[in-house]
Structure formats: structure tokens, C-alpha cells
């Protein structure tokens, strides 16, 4: 019998790509999403892309904090594991509205973990972030680096990691993998699913993409006085399909394991790329000029962050395949086919 995975936040950017790879890997998938930052159209497109496996996907519009609805779902369906993406992720918004972030991300996760325990489902893959490394003293970042957080969003990731470690200490039946993502970009090569942020994008590539399709006049570059190759911030961009595959590798490890555990892995490429290099690669892929406005550094930003990939390569047997050319090619393919994402011009800002 195919294993059944509950994917929270599965209508979102990384979630939708992971759901597709799970279906193609012959898992049965239930998605829970409140559609706060996603469209049900993403689920329809994943179903279509999955072909004969599309029938193995079901969608439930549920807020994770709605304990009764979540309980009903767990009572009606036995899940072998949960992949937990659901959460709010805008750093600036988290500074303005910390309680929204603590309530949504932490309460949502606590309700999920309690419901899982009540129903004997103790296998979890959680979306953490490289943000827990803050401004690292050196690079590449290894999983043993000291952890910190500079904003409420980052603190929710840090707290949830700690919650998971505490749960495992108290009950070694749990098998948890915490994945620290570096900078996910790109889209499925079909151009049918991709990132469709609500409002003004916070992250670099969704912003670049909106400039390329004429939705925004120029990219503001936050700081060109860093001690980097060209003065702009350096990050480890990773193709979202590689990232999705990282979740399949994590689940395989969990299912192969004979005992519990709570392990953390970086998911990155191990390569650092500057803002200007990324813009150049996108201009090449799209044939579009991206006008730039140089500005001050963004508060809370780090200079250079990229990943050590050794632990994931060794223990998950996973390694990113794609480089920035493919990331930009696929991001442009999605953007040019869907300039307004899943929405219509009058429904988006």
C-alpha cells in the first residue's frame, strides 16, 4: 500500500512542488492549507501535472489552528508522516505583527504536533530556514553552527526547532527531520506552477520576476557596500525542484530508520551568488533588462550566507542538481506564461 503523507501548506510555493514530486514518487498525499498565501489553482495544476498519479491527491481547506477540523481529518485518515510547510514567512510583516506570527506559526505547529501524537503519527519533516544562522561568522554554514534569530519570523523557526528537539527528548518514538532551506527560487520546468506571492514580494527573485513582466518599474538593490565580490549580498540559491526532492530524501530516511530521531539538515547548493550575479543570470535567461536602483542595506540582512552540503549528501544521499542558469530559465518560463501568477490583474496588487 502506498504511504500516505499529510502536507501542510501544500498549496504554497515549496509545498506545491513537493506535493508533485511526492505524487510522482507514488506517495498518496493529503494537503491541508488555509489558502492564506496560496491559490487552490495550484492544487489543480499539480493534479494535472501528476497525470495518472493525480487521483492520489486530496485537498482540505483547513487552518492548522482549527483543532477540531484537524482532529476530524486525522480521525478519518491514517497518515504515515507529515511534511509541515504551513506558516507565514514575511520577515518585515513579522516585525510589524509579531503576535500574528507567533500565533500562526507556533500555535499552528503545536496544534499539529499534539494532534499527530494523539493519533500515533510521530514522523515529521519540518521547513526550517537558513535564517537560524543569522549573520554567520564564517561560511559555509554547517548544521552545528550557533543559532540565532534577528526577527519574529526567524524566532518562530528557532522555537519550533527547539520544540521538536524537546518532544524527541521526551519521547524517542518520534522521528523528525528539520530541513534548513537556503534560498529557494525557480519553478517547475513545465511553467505550470511557481511562486505567486501576495502583495509586494519581499524576496529577491519574485521581485525581479515582477520587474521583468512589467508589474514593477525597477529592482531596489539593498546595499552595494558589503565586503563581497561586487558589494551586494551573497546567498545560496536553490532550485525549488531540488528542494522538493530533498523532502523525498528526508522521508525515505525516516521510513528506513528503525529508531526515532531528531536530525537537522541544510538544503542548499553550497555555492554563493551575489544579487548582481543573479540579476545578470535572469536578464540572460529572459532577454529582459532589469532596471536597478541602489539603496541602503536592508536592516537585519546578512552579508554572505551559503550552505555546507556535506551532511545532507552523506546521510540523505541528496545533492542539488541545478545551477542558477536553470533556476532563472524556469523562473522566467513560469513568469512569462503566468505574469499575474495564479490570479487575474484585478485580484493582485
Give 133's DSSP letter: G
Q: How far is the CB of 141 from ligand UDP (least distance, A)?
A: 12
Total binding residues for ligand UDP by CB under 6 A?
14
Tell me which of 5, 46, 64, 244 binds ligand NAD, using CB under 6 A.
64
Question: Which cell is 240 given?
Answer: 525549488
Residue 202 contacts ligand UDP per CB under 6 A: yes
Q: Among residues 85 and 332, whose Cβ is nearest to ligand NAD?
A: 85
| Residue 272, helix vs strand vs coil | coil
Q: Among residues 203 and 266, whose Cβ is nearest to ligand UDP?
A: 203
Q: How far is the CB of 139 from ligand UDP (least distance, A)?
A: 13
> Residues in the chain, how many?
349
Question: Which cell is 107 given?
Answer: 500555535
Q: Among residues 35 and 117, whose Cβ is nearest to ligand NAD?
A: 35
Q: How far is the CB of 259 from ligand NAD (least distance, A)?
A: 27
186 close to 330: Cβ distance less than 8 angstroms: yes
Burial of 345 (0-12, 13-18, 19+ CB in 10 A): exposed
Residue 20 contacts ligand NAD per CB under 6 A: no
Widest CA span in the chain: 56
Burial of 58 (0-12, 13-18, 19+ CB in 10 A): middle
Q: How far is the CB of 262 from ligand NAD (least distance, A)?
A: 18
Interface positions, 300-319, toward ligand UDP (CB under 6 A): 301
Q: Among residues 202 and 336, whose Cβ is nearest to ligand UDP?
A: 202
Q: What's the CA gap between 185 and 188, in Å, rounded?
A: 10
Residue 11 contacts ligand NAD per CB under 6 A: yes
Question: Catalytic residue among 133, 153, 226, 265, which?
Answer: 153
Interface positions, 263-292, toward ligand UDP (CB under 6 A): 275
Instruction: Look at residues 339, 301, 308 and name the one whose alpha carbon lies nearest to residue 209.
Output: 339
Total binding residues for ligand NAD by CB under 6 A?
29
Residue 7 contacts ligand UDP per CB under 6 A: no
Interface positions, 119-178, toward ligand NAD (CB under 6 A): 127, 129
* Alpha helices per DSSP H over 52-177: 67-76, 91-96, 98-101, 108-118, 152-170
Q: What's the CA gap between 94 and 96, in Å, rounded?
A: 5
Where along the sequence are the contacts to ligand UDP (CB under 6 A)? 183, 202-204, 207, 219-222, 233, 235, 275, 298, 301
Known catalytic residues?
153
Amino acid at each position: 500500500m502506498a504511504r500516505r503523507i499529510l502536507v501542510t501548506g501544500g498549496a504554497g510555493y515549496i509545498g506545491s512542488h513537493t506535493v508533485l514530486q511526492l505524487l510522482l514518487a507514488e506517495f498518496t498525499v493529503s494537503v491541508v492549507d488555509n489558502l492564506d498565501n496560496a491559490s487552490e489553482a495550484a492544487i489543480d495544476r499539480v493534479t494535472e501535472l501528476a497525470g495518472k498519479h493525480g487521483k492520489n491527491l486530496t485537498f482540505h481547506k483547513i487552518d492548522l489552528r482549527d483543532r477540531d477540523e484537524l482532529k476530524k481529518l486525522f480521525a478519518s485518515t491514517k497518515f504515515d508522516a507529515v511534511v509541515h510547510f504551513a506558516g507565514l514567512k514575511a520577515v518585515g510583516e513579522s516585525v510589524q505583527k509579531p503576535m500574528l506570527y507567533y500565533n500562526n506559526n507556533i500555535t499552528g505547529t503545536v496544534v499539529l504536533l499534539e494532534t499527530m501524537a494523539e493519533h500515533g503519527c510521530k514522523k515529521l519533516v519540518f521547513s526550517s530556514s537558513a535564517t537560524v544562522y543569522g549573520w554567520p561568522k564564517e561560511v559555509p554554514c554547517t548544521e552545528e553552527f550557533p543559532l540565532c534569530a534577528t526577527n519574529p519570523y526567524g524566532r518562530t523557526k528557532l522555537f519550533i526547532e527547539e520544540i521538536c528537539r524537546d518532544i524527541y527528548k521526551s519521547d524517542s518514538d518520534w522521528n523528525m527531520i528539520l530541513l534548513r532551506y537556503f534560498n529557494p527560487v525557480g519553478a517547475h520546468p513545465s511553467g505550470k506552477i511557481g511562486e505567486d506571492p501576495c502583495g509586494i514580494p519581499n524576496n529577491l527573485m519574485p521581485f525581479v520576476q515582477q520587474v521583468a513582466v512589467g508589474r514593477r518599474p525597477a529592482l531596489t538593490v539593498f546595499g552595494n557596500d558589503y565586503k563581497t565580490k561586487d558589494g551586494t549580498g551573497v546567498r545560496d540559491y536553490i532550485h525549488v525542484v531540488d528542494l522538493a526532492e530533498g523532502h523525498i530524501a528526508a522521508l525515505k530516511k525516516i521510513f528506513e530508520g528503525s529508531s526515532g530521531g531528531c536530525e537537522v539538515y541544510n538544503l542548499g547548493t553550497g555555492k554563493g551568488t551575489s544579487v548582481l550575479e543573479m540579476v545578470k543570470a535572469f536578464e540572460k535567461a529572459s532577454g529582459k533588462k532589469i532596471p536597478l536602483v541602489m539603496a541602503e542595506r536592508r536592516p537585519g540582512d546578512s552579508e554572505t550566507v551559503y550552505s555546507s552540503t556535506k551532511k545532507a549528501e552523506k546521510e540523505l544521499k541528496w545533492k542539488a542538481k541545478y545551477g542558477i542558469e536553470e533556476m532563472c530559465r524556469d523562473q522566467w518560463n513560469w513568469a512569462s506564461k503566468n505574469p499575474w501568477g495564479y490570479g487575474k490583474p484585478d485580484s493582485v496588487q
